[in-house]
Amino acid sequence: MAHIFTDLKEKFNRGNTAIQLIFINLGVFLVISLINVILLLCGRSFDPLVSWISLPAWFGQFIIQPWSIFTYAFVHQDFWHILFNMLWLYWFGMLFLTHFSSKHLRGLYLFGAFCGGLLYMIAYNIFPYFAGVLNGAILMGASASVMAIVIATTYRDPNYQIRLLFLGAIRLKYFALVFIVTDMLFLTGNNAGGHFSHLGGALGGFLFAYALKRGFDLTKWINIPLDAIASIFKASKRPRKAKMKVEFGNDRNKDYKYNAQKRVSNEEIDAILDKIKKSGYGSLTEAEKKKLFDASQK
């Protein structure tokens, strides 16, 4: 089991931002699903807990859980919901990275969620059509974020061709237009909140690409705190350098001892040289000859 987590961690670290976002979404989905299974076996429901990370339509509830305007983009209802969102995120995330940076993808994912969630809440609170479901409606899923990525990529390269099954090659601008028109046609359908969030995400993607072309990054306010958090984790993982221990007293003692030993050695050499002058080299003992030889090699 430890090897599995190590492999997954390595793949996450080596993957680009699109892959990492997919890993996060899958991880959240698995954790929520497992907790839900355990609680259901115990006769309890997980719905109240999920609602705290999903986005409520009613502004009064949103004020209590403001974080949900970002966290809802990582929550999915079922297997098919997350499967299609992650496939779109992978395909268009990879294409997005050929025109923009990894930080832009990370920031736009959350900016698209913000714009999609904001339009969703505004629509549900101003249109009388949603008055009956306002208090209980919640939004979840990455589709608004994915839509922002699709539109930003389309704005940057509208004539890029993608190949679709049964339809063949189609330019991105027509592909995106079909999605936007479809969302507008189903604004009163069963998934009206989802379609409003798609349009909000599309607007966010357009504003991002339009502003960036003119030198202004709309994702900067998101990426700055994310970079700060990432730097904290990197600093905690970085090995600490051993502190240098400085002992001034010991150094002075060592210098004193060295100088004293050097002075004694010089005096002994001077005495040997005086003996050579008086009695010649042959009068030296073996110990004196060795000491004289050692001194000559320094």
Domain's final residue, options 209, 237, 265 = 237
Residue 295: pLDDT over 80: no
- Looking at 19-23, 180-184, 199-203, 254-258, which range is the least confident one? 254-258
Q: How many structural domains does the chain have?
A: 2
Phi, psi of 170 (to 5 degrees): -140, 140
Q: Judge if 40 and 187 occupy the same domain.
A: yes
Q: Judge if 230 and 101 occupy the same domain.
A: yes
Whether 245 is in a domain gets the answer no
Q: Assign 296 a pLDDT band (cuts: 50, 70, 90).
A: low
Whether 19 is in a domain gets the answer yes
- 153 burial class (0-12, 13-18, 19+ CB within 10 angstroms)? buried
CATH number, domain at 223?
A: 1.20.1540.10
- Looking at residue 39, its pLDDT comes to 87
Residue 287: pLDDT over 80: no
Residue 293: pLDDT over 70: no
Residue linked to tokens 């969630």: 117
Q: Tell me which residue range forms the domain holding 288.
A: 250-297
What's the whole-number average pLDDT of the chain? 87
* Residues above pLDDT 70, as percent of the chain: 83
Q: Judge if 126 and 274 occupy the same domain.
A: no
Residue 112: pLDDT over 80: yes
pTM of the model: 0.77
Whether 243 is in a domain gets the answer no
Asked whether 17 and 80 are in contact (CB, 8 A), the reply is no
Q: What is the pLDDT of residues 17-48, one digit of tens each?
A: 999 999 999 999 999 999 988 988 988 877 77
The DSSP string of 278-298 is HH-GGGS-HHHHHHHHHHHH-
End-to-end CA distance of the chain: 63
Asked whether 113 and 145 are in contact (CB, 8 A), the reply is yes
Q: Judge if 254 and 204 occupy the same domain.
A: no
Q: Judge if 168 and 124 occupy the same domain.
A: yes
